[in-house]
A and B are shown apart, each in its own frame.
Chain A
C-alpha cells in the first residue's frame, strides 16, 4: 500500500485564499470522491498535488518523502487535466506521445478503449468536442502507469451512456489493478459517484469541511419532516443547516442529534443532500 499525504497545504492568489491549510491522506486500493462547489479549490488542490502549481505553504509526500522536484515520485501521480499538451496532434499520435513520456503507459489498452468509446483516432485533439475531449483525457488517465490518478471532472460533457461506460471502466480498471492504484475523482455529479467511491472529501471555500466513509458522511445529516411546531420541538437541541417549507409541512436538515417526537418523521439523507446542506452560503 502506498500513501499520498497532503500536509498543511495553503494557496493564496494575491488576496484570495484558494486553499486554507488542507491536510489529507490518500491510499492505494481506494477510490475517493473530491467534492466541492464551483470555486471551492478542487482543481487548485489537484494541480498542487500534481506539481503543476506551487503551494504558498505546505508540502506533498509520497510514502513519507517530499514529492516536489522528485521526478521518480512525481511519476507516481497522474492528473487528468484541463490544459492539453497534445493540442495539435491526432489522438493516435497523442497516445503514442503519452507512451514516450511514460514508458509503462498501456498503449494497446488506450486503442481498445478508443474503440469502445468510438473515439476517432485520426481526429486532432484540438478538434474534439467537449465530450470526446473528456473521453480522450479519461483514456490517458486509465492507461497511465501512475499509482495515484486524479480525475478532474472526468464526465464533463459526457452523455448518459458514456458516463455509464466511464463508471464501469473506473471500477473494472480499479479491480484489475487491485491494490496498486488510488483514484481521486472530482465531480459535481455526486449521485453518480457516491456508490463508486469508498471515501469522500468535501472542501468549501478552500477549507476541508468533511472527510470520511461515504456512508458515515451521509449519516451525519438527518432530515426532519412534519408540522412546524412539532419539528421545532424535535430539533430544538440540534444544529440546523437548512429549512424547506411546502404548505404546512416543514423539512429541516440538521447535523447530529434529534429529539424523537411522535408525528415527526426522521429520515436519512444521501451524500448529495448532505453536501448541499453543509456547503450552503
Chain B
C-alpha cells in the first residue's frame, strides 16, 4: 500500500486498503488483522489516522475489536464487501466507461460488442 495525500484522505485509503486485503482473502474471516501500532510504523502513518480508518470498517461490521487482543475480520465480512462493491459497480466502472465511449463516438451497439468481445477473450485465455 502506498498512501498519497492528494488522492483522498489517508484514513479512507487505509480503510480501502484493508478492505481490499479482506476481499482478496489476504485476511480470512476470523483472522486477526495487523495492529494500529504495526500499521502505523510499517506505513509511516500517524496512529490516530490508522485508527480512524479502522473505525470505518468496524462501523460497517467488516472487522471487530476483541478487548485487549486486537482487531479481527468479522463473519460474513467478505459478503458485505461484495454487496457494497456490487451496488457501486455501476457508478465506479460502468458510468466512466460509457462517458469515455461517448466521447470517442461509439454507439450503443459498438459498446456492447466491445464489452462482449473482452468477455469472450477473457474466457478463451483461461
Contact = CB atoms under 8 A, between A and B. Distances in A.
Interface of A: 30-31, 164, 167-168, 171-172, 174-175, 194-198, 214-215, 218, 267-271
B39 to A, nearest CB: 10
Nearest to B36: A175
A167 B6 CA distance: 20
The 8 closest A-B CB pairs, nearest first, are A270-B5, A175-B37, A198-B46, A172-B41, A215-B9, A270-B6, A167-B44, A171-B41
Residue in B8, B41, B46 whose Cβ sees the most chain A Cβ within 10 Å: B46
Contacts of A30: 48
Given A168-B44, A175-B37, A194-B5, 7 more contacts: A171-B44, A174-B47, A175-B47, A195-B45, A195-B46, A197-B46, A215-B10
A208 B40 CA distance: 29
Interface residues of B, number: 19
Residue in A168, A172, A215 whose Cβ sees the most chain B Cβ within 10 Å: A215
B126 interface: no
Interface of B: 3-6, 8-11, 36-37, 40-41, 43-49
B120 to A, nearest CB: 36
A174 B50 CA distance: 14
Contacts of B37: 172, 175
B40 A175 contact: yes
Nearest to B47: A175
Contacts of B49: 195, 198
